[in-house]
Amino acid sequence: MRNYLAEDVLNCDMLHLMELYRNSLGDGGSLDATIELLKCTSVLIRNCRDSRPITDISDDRLKDNHFAMDWFVHWENSVKNNATIKNKEKCLISHQTRQDIISAVLGFEELCLYKLKKSNASIIPSKINSDVIENIFCQQRTLHNGANSNPTYLGYCHSINSVILGQASVSKKSYTGGVEEIQKQYCPSKKVCCYTG
């Protein structure tokens, strides 16, 4: 639910609406920063939802994603380096969201590099599912500033093993076959043979 809401308020429709609103104000300079943010978020959303395959590493969508990520990094650096801003974190999106944007863009870029270098297969951005990776990030965040204020290495290992063993890399949401096929392949049901002599 939250993802759909985030997409609705950060996509190209909202960008178009804000540009029209700025034009209707006459002097809408106060909306310039918001529109700049929406330009980057709408590119990321559009490219993540794109069902056209990526067949070459020079695909413009990868460059657009990288440009959007660079914009977020530049925004963070400009706020952190501005001596007049006292409470810098209030001027930025959350630290976790910034990390997620960077890791998603770089991770997808690396996936494309690896896949396109090793095979002739293409990658369809809308079919990529990051649920397993998200679960690992959640476990790592609890170490940094989460449920356990004094984590141990052993506790972290148990948590990560639970995530790894309990998840499949393909989920029902990714339109690529579902978890059932993977479970059949790696966890066949036990059959008991009865000999009746």
Per-residue pLDDT of 55-71, as tens digits, reads 999 999 999 999 999 99
Candidate from 74-83, 122-131, 143-152 with smallest mean pLDDT: 143-152
Cβ atoms within 10 Å, residue 15: 22
Q: How far is CA 131 from the centre of its chain?
A: 9
112 contacts 57 by C-beta, under 8 angstroms = yes
CA distance 113 to 107: 10
Is 139 a residue whose pLDDT tops 70?
no
Candidate from 18-22, 146-150, 153-157, 189-193 with smallest mean pLDDT: 189-193
**Residue 194 has what pLDDT?**
41
The 10s digit of each residue's pLDDT in 8-48 is: 888 899 999 999 999 898 877 888 999 999 999 999 999 99
Is 54 a residue whose pLDDT tops 60?
yes
Is 72 a residue whose pLDDT tops 60?
yes
Enter the tokens of residue 107.
């991770």
Is 4 a residue whose pLDDT tops 90?
no
CA distance 70 to 36: 13
pTM of the model: 0.66
174 versus 88: the higher-pLDDT residue is: 88
Candidate from 99-103, 113-117, 149-153, 180-184 with smallest mean pLDDT: 180-184
CA distance 128 to 146: 28
Cβ-in-10-Å burial (0-12, 13-18, 19+) of 12 comes to middle
How far separated are the first and last CA of the chain, in Å rounded?
59
Is 184 a residue whose pLDDT tops 80?
no
